[in-house]
Structure 1
Amino acid sequence: MNVFLEKKSMIRPSKEKWEKIRCKGKIRYAIVYGALGMGLFWAAITNVISHLVEPVETWHIRLILFTIGGFILGFFNGLTVWKLNERAYHNS
């Protein structure tokens, strides 16, 4: 079996798809897939849950902080996933 697709803990892109993605660069990947994709998704979920648990009048400040935090954490998550995908790509 292809080592690139062997990991069962995470879904990896196919080798051909990863080659197209990696041509666009690591920083773009971290921003698009990490910060905008995962980071803002988690910021939205966190905002909704925190508002349901404890609604506050200063919800807009919490929204801004969670969005910035989600963007930053998502960016670093994107860099980590890039590294894992690169390792799997080079080992295939």
Structure 2
Amino acid sequence: MKSKDLQAAVKNKYENGDGQAKICPDLGGVVSKRTINLWIKLIKDTGSINLSYSTGHPRTVRTKANIIQVKWRAQQKKRVSTRRLAAEMNSSRSSAQRIL
């Protein structure tokens, strides 16, 4: 999500009658046209830019429980490879590295 200042600027410009084609250059290309279109649609539907749902893919591996498990395992005396750690977590090696 972009900063609240940019959202407020887009909302003010839209309420003053500016369209997406005018808002995008006014902001200097900081926000993409697609994002501005999404925000304008949210303003039309709900009157605000607050999202009622999370956009994007849900987290499956990098959850708080897995992070706690990896950190606990890393604090143990015995060294463990990321490959073995990933096998214990039932996830990929890159996910284990990302958590570390």
Q: State the TM-score, normalizing by the size of structure 1.
A: 0.27
The structure carrying a bigger helix percent of its residues is: 1
Q: Which has the larger radius of gyration?
A: 2
What TM-score do you get using the length of structure 2 for normalisation? 0.26
Q: Taking CA–CA contacts closer than 8 Å with sequence separation of 6 or more, which of the two structures ends up with the larger relative contact order? A: 1
